[in-house]
Amino acid sequence: MCTAITLQSAGGENVFARTMDFSYDIQPHLYAVPRNFVWNNAPNGRYNRDRYSFMGIGQQLGSLLGFFDGVNEKGFAAASLYFAGYAQYATAGSNSSAIPVASYDFLHYILGSCSSVEELISQLGSVQIVGMPDPVTQTVAPLHWIATDRTGRCVILEPAGDRLLAYNNPIGVLANSPDFPWHMTNLRNYTEASPRQTEEAFWGSVQLTPFGQGGGTDTLPGGYTSPQRFVRTAYLKTHIPQPGNGEKAVLSCFQILKSVSIPKGAVVTARGTDDYTRYTASLNASTGEYYFNTYENPQIRKAHFHADNAASGSLIDLGSLAQPVSFEQM
C-alpha cells in the first residue's frame, strides 16, 4: 500500500512524492550512489554499471541493495509501489535479446541508466523484468512503477508477462491495484466532487441546509483502499492552488499525502501485522533535493544531491531514516 504524486510549481519545478506503506519490518536508509557504481544483476549473474549517479531511499541486506524511490543527477525520479494480483513477470531467458533484471532491482536499473522519461520509454524493449524473491518478504513482490523528470512528464510502468506496459499519466497520481487505466476510469464516478459549498435544497416544503463548509466533498471516499486513496489524492492535487516555487510544492505534497497516510492499527494484515505509512518522501527533480519524514518523527529533513557524490566512486550511506523526534520547548 503506497501512494505517489507529481506536482509542478509556478516556476516550473517538478516535485515527486510518495508514501511508503508497508506491513513488513524495514529499516530504510538514504544512499548516494555514484556514477559507474557496479552491482550484481541476479538473473544473469553479471555485473551492471550505472551511467548516472542518484540518491535513493532503500535497504541493504547482505549483498543486496534494494531501492524504494530515488532521483538521479539528470532529474529523473521514480518509485516502486505494490501491484498485488496484477503484476505478471517474464520467465528468465524467454527473451534472449533483452537484459533480464530482477523486479526488486528494476528501480535501481532505471535510476542508473535513464536521464528522462523519454529515454526510459526508449529502453523498455531491451529490458525483461524477472520475478525473484526479495529478502524482506521472502516472496516475489508484485510491483509497478511511476517515473517522472524535470519536464513534468509522468509515466506508469506495469509488468504483463513478457511485456512492460507504459501509460502516460496526465494526472500524476499512482496507488496500487487495479491497473492504472482502471483508476483513471474510476475517477468518472466522482465528477460531482467540488471544493464549493453545496446549496440548500427543498424536499417538498422541507428546507434542507448544509452542515457547514465542505459539502461539495461528500462524494469523496474516506477509506484506505488503493482506489479510495487514488481518488482522494487526485482530487486534492488538482484543486489546491499551484505552489509558487519548489519548496512550496514540496510542502504541498506533504499536505496532500497526509490525507492518505495510514496510522498504526487502521489496517491490519492477515498475518496480524500493521500496514502503515513508514515514511513519506518528496523529491525535487529540478534541484535534486530530497525531503522526508517518518512515522516516528514527523519533522521534515532534507538532503541535497552533490556533485561530489556523483563522482565519489563509492556508495555513500547517508544514514538511517529512523531518528528520534525532538519536541521544541516554547
Q: Are 188 and 219 in contact (CB under 8 A)?
A: no
State the Cα–Cα distance between residues 75 and 330, nearest whole angstrom: 39
State the Cα–Cα distance between residues 128 and 141, nearest whole angstrom: 16
Quote the cell numbers at residue 66: 534494494
Distances (CA, A) of 107 to 32, 58, 167, 243: 15, 10, 17, 28
State the Cα–Cα distance between residues 13 and 83, nearest whole angstrom: 29
Quote the cell numbers at residue 253: 505534497
Quote the cell numbers at residue 152: 513534468
Which sign, positive or negative, has the C-alpha torsion 312, 317, 319, 320?
positive
State the Cα–Cα distance between residues 189 and 221, nearest whole angstrom: 11
Catalytic residue, chosen from 2, 114, 154, 253, is: 2
Q: Is 154 a catalytic residue?
A: no
211 Cβ contact partners less than 8 Å away, ≥ 6 residues apart: none
| Catalytic residue positions, numbered | 2
